[in-house]
Structure 1
Amino acid sequence: MSLVHRSPEAGFAPGLRPRAAVRRLAFLAALVVTVLISVAPSASAHATVVSTSPSDGQVVATAPTVVSVRFDEPVQMQFGALRVFSPTGSRVDEGSPSHPTGHSDTVEVALTSGLGHGTYTVAWHVISADSHPVSGAFTFSVGSSSATSVSQDTLNAGGSKTVGVLYGIARGVAYGGFALIVGATGFLLYCWPPGGASRRVRAMIAAGWGALVAATLAVLGLQGPYDGGFGLDRVFDTTVLHTTLGTRLGTALAVRLMLLGLYGVGLALLLPKVEKASVNLRIAATSAGAALAIGIAATWAAADHAGVGSQVPLALPLDIVHVMAMGTWLGGLTVVVAALLRPAGADVPVLARAVRRFSTIAACCIGALVATGTYQAWRQVGTLGALTGTVYGRLLLVKLLGVGLLIALGYLARVWIAHYLSGSAGSGSSNKGGSGSGSRSGSSTARSAAVTPDAIAIRQLRRSTGLEVALATGVLAVTAMLVNAPPARTAFAAPVSTTVAFDTGGPNGKGSVQVFVGPAKTGNDTVHIEVVTPSGEPVSVPQLTASLTLPDRQLGPLPVTLSGAGTSHYYGGATIPLAGAWKLAVTVRTDDIDETTVVVPVTIR
């Protein structure tokens, strides 16, 4: 039986020999991993402060009885704290912080009575809705401002870097384990039932189940120290673990462990019977396994980005589809590489049938990944600028590069199948009997089995598919990093660019100011203002000034120093200390007595 109908290079793109293709794709895979490592983010805030009471920097006449912080999404108080320090550094908060009734996005704490004059520091540490810790601080003054002895070390109780690294690794291993148990089991049931007799396949599935259980337990143990900023010595602290189980992620992890218990029992009963199982039994097993797998995938979706923000009823099921497609594709690929294509004397018709079936499944998974991934990118990124302007966006670009390479590798495999396996499956029977070769021909064929064209072609497919598995593993690592990164939509602030008309009331007093403020984030921002006529032509004016105010905090006006007097283009810089809905007031004077002020909204994140 001959598998190859053309040269061994025929299955690859024209002009690209297999070894060259492998080398180039390996280089690209290494590049992806290198970029992945270079842009790996540290854990950072996902919930954003909307307002505080008292306001940051506010001077109040009398001491408040309560301080509060409001966020842009619900936050959890497990491992949380809201501490208030006097000018001397002593604690002046009283009781435990809590949510006001009906306001899960706000935390508050009572203050002791009899507070004296001076500057007080409020430090907060809470858990955002997507299970990540966020922290910060602000100050207010009673009577008048003063010096304070509160140190940054007191305010910023940084967590253990070791805990953070192990936490990220555990989440990545969990994705890999899920892919093995879901994809490998599905591959056996639908594509390759005889593989159920393979010890290698059984070991792979058992390893995937064990890895997911171990990784889930590790995340459960590390979540408390990660959220609370503790060290590794608190991983086995039962008090911390009990608190973790009360969080949203802790509940999801507990549910996942229960579902994994049921999945493990099912695997133990099913795997010995897969090879000889009837079609009805395989359908029933597939249905039950799919239901459990969907439940396990939902434990990721419900506790991460898909479970918070806008369009949650749509985002949750699409995220589950995304995780399921990932697991089915990657797990199936792993079986193809590690078991199906491994034997030197592969049964080519069986191999062809299994790979053809999986090729169809893989194509469907790719379609699902592209569709759901596009929606997730739109939901979490929002604008093109956020793709390059945020850690989340850059990680997403790396993931898209990896997926693109995976699709290219999948295309090479499909070409190989079309050129080799299809013809082989149809010609196998005619090649079995032989005519005129005699026993010597059969003996010679047996002795050269290791170097047959079939073996060469299968080895080529195995290399290509192996690269897919390696690259897909890198994509999984990026996915784990995306879970820990703040969504680009909330982390990125698009520059403000707008045009506002003015009319000073005097001769030639009509026109417009074209305003640009970027990057529209706290810190140093650039301000450009262009004066134009009603027809859009640049025009110089005798004077133009600008200032910034933040009405919500009663802050400002802060003057903006501008250069370019006597021209149509004014430019300068502004240091914006706080996020919020700022107002840029631009005063234009068109002659000695006529002037007007226009206000431009500027959202700073």
Structure 2
Amino acid sequence: MKIRLYKWSFMAAVACAVLFVLAPISAFAHAYVVSSDPAANVVLDTSPAEFVIDFNEPLEEGFHEIAIIGPNGDNVADGKAGIDPNKPSRLSVAMQPDLPEGLYTAKWNVVSGDGHAISGTIPFQIGKEASNSNLPIHPSTDGGNSFPDWSLVLVRWLFYGGTAGYLGAVVFHAWLLPRRNNTWSERLRRRSRTVWLTGFIASTTSVLLSLPQQTASDAGGGWREAFDPVLWRQTLAYTTFGEIWKIQLLLLGGWLLWTLFLLRASRMTRPRLFPLGGAMVLSLGLLLTKAFIGHAATAEAQGIAVTADFLHLASALIWLGGVGALAYLLPVTTQHAAASRDHPSVSPENHLYWRAIRRFSILAFFMVAILLGTGVYNSLLHVPTLYSLTHTAYGRILLGKIALTLICLLLGGLSFLRGRRAEKSLNAGVWYEFGTGLVVLILAAVLANLPTAATTPGPAKLTERLDDGTKVTIYVTPNVVGTNLFQVYVHGPDGNLRNDVEQVTLELTSKEMDMGKTEIIFPGDSPPEARELMTMGGRWNVHVHILTKSLDRYDYDTELTVGNP
């Protein structure tokens, strides 16, 4: 047994190492503005014909709007905003002609590719005579970094908790109980049916409520907008969420019929694998649809990200559901075995109890291995730096989730040791593990509705070692849209600063869209720092050119990921 565990541990470690090596490119998840025309805080001589905003990713076709608020408080947009069919990441609206001088604010709201509604404001000015003292330094974005509404968390948590309980009861009868001993007492039937019905009702309620809840979020009007049939039709027809929700509704119909079949099959004294297997496939299918309307759906390697997200959640729910089944279903099973034993000298209930615990230990090991491996991948995808892990709401909540998961692992490890030694029953320890797992699911529901930490990578340090041993280090602070401090240090092979550098030139070009070229020059006889305005977030290519006093040249390219303020 120990050899097998060592073998499994080695395989799990190799899988985690592979995921680290294949570290994914960070996904920003929520859409963000990369440029606008007129640009933020610009002062125009004449009135523009339209207002155009370019985002980093395609937008959903429903629930988008731009309102241009003029000096007198009126909306001066001429008609409704529209998405460019040839460039689905561009939103524009026509403006009334011959607008008077003054301060203007474009208020926009869109639904990003992961299904979350975001909004913001972009100020600009017409006429140099108008006072620009009230213009902010940067455009603002509302809702992108705010804590999710309680209803978003509750609806998602209902689905997680219900599915965990349902899957746990299925796994309990299909695997944890030995087939030869797996007879269903009347008390076990009642408890199993209760778990399946409760889990199905909770998951179904979550799916059904998610439509009005998503509609309310996208419309920006709260729950008073949630049950408007016109807005429902817009959600179903023009958003990715609507398309996925219709698939979920079909799966719910099949899951309902199969659950009724499973409940009927549970009346038999011995369960059959066929109804149990079908119930698991349908519940996992519904779980898979959630991965297509979350952060993973906006990743560059979408297929890998969606698969990892599904496996991460499925393994967590099967593990937690199995713990709940041990706490709620296993005791009545062993009581039934004790009542039906033939010889007082034999203890079938004790044998059955610990055999089920050992089987769960094997299942839990594989689920935890998948959970940890996919968790590493997802963390690399959504949290690119240690700075973003500790300085964003997403990162801090992720740390809390990791801490509670480690507590669950510790409690599970103690249960595993008891199972190996067949000591006194687990009792309260299993309930503690299950309760902690439910709290972890709350944090998972919060993370699903927060923008990822990839939008705030923090100060950047770009280091390159050249062929002759020269080391070039570039610092960018605070590394967000707006004014940044760039510092360049060139060290020789001996580790000392080189004093023969005539000039260092940085040429920055956006990898997201054509924004032209930004050039930063550092003369060799000046302090190696300069301030430059970064006009958009995302990935930038940095071409570094170094010229020495002896006319030696060094050229190379590196990448800078700029965050949003």
Post-superposition offset of 1:81: 0.9
Rg larger for: 1
1:297 is matched with which residue: 284, 287, 294?
287
The RMSD of aligned alpha carbons is: 4.3
1:52-451 to 2 correspondence within 5 Å? 52-60=36-44, 62-142=46-126, 144=128, 146-147=130-131, 164-192=149-177, 193-195=182-184, 197-198=186-187, 199-246=190-237, 247-274=239-266, 276=268, 282-341=272-331, 345=335, 347-420=349-422
SS at match of 2:416: helix
Percent identity between matched residues is 26
Amino acid at match of 2:261: L
1:520 is matched with which residue: 476, 479, 486?
479
- Corresponding residue number in structure 1 for 2:562: 604
- For 2:484 and 2:135, the matched residues in 1 are separated by 28
Query: When you count helix as a share of all residues, which structure comes out higher?
Result: 1
TM-score (normalizing by structure 1): 0.71
SS at match of 2:64: strand
Post-superposition offset of 1:229: 2.1
Amino acid at match of 2:268: K
Post-superposition offset of 1:179: 0.8
Map Cα deviations across residues 159-214 of structure 1 (whole Å, 9 max, x no partner). 9x998112212211211011111221232233345357432232122111111122
- For 1:157 and 1:370, the matched residues in 2 are separated by 34
* Deviates most, 394-403 or 191-200: 191-200
- For 1:90 and 1:220, the matched residues in 2 are separated by 33
- Corresponding residue number in structure 2 for 1:447: none
Query: Retained in 2: the 8 A contact 1:399–1:479?
Result: yes
Post-superposition offset of 1:325: 1.6
1:598/1:486 Cα in 2 relative to 1: closer, same or farther (>3 Å)? same
Query: Retained in 2: the 8 A contact 1:547–1:559?
Result: yes
Map Cα deviations across residues 271-312 of structure 1 (whole Å, 9 max, x no partner). 242363767xx2322332232122201221011112122111
- For 1:599 and 1:83, the matched residues in 2 are separated by 44
- For 2:274 and 2:73, the matched residues in 1 are separated by 65
Post-superposition offset of 1:269: 2.3
Query: Retained in 2: the 8 A contact 1:88–1:149?
Result: no
TM-score (normalizing by structure 2): 0.75
Post-superposition offset of 1:150: 9.8
- Residue 489 (str. 1) matches residue 457 (str. 2): no
Instruction: Structure 1: give runs of 5+ residues left out of the alignment.
Output: 1-43, 422-456, 502-510
- For 2:304 and 2:516, the matched residues in 1 are separated by 39
SS at match of 1:57: coil
Query: Retained in 2: the 8 A contact 1:79–1:224?
Result: no
SS at match of 1:83: strand
- For 2:102 and 2:509, the matched residues in 1 are separated by 24
- For 2:265 and 2:465, the matched residues in 1 are separated by 74
Map Cα deviations across residues 227-282 of structure 1 (whole Å, 9 max, x no partner). 22213322333233333333222332343233223223222222242363767xx2
Post-superposition offset of 1:603: 5.2
SS at match of 1:112: coil
Query: Retained in 1: the 8 A contact 2:117–2:143?
Result: no
Query: Retained in 1: the 8 A contact 2:29–2:113?
Result: no
Instruction: Structure 2: give runs of 5+ residues left out of the alignment.
Output: 1-27, 339-348
- Corresponding residue number in structure 1 for 2:11: none
Query: How many residues matched?
Result: 506
- For 1:589 and 1:554, the matched residues in 2 are separated by 27
1:383/1:162 Cα in 2 relative to 1: closer, same or farther (>3 Å)? closer
1:157/1:526 Cα in 2 relative to 1: closer, same or farther (>3 Å)? closer
Amino acid at match of 1:298: L
Post-superposition offset of 1:546: 11
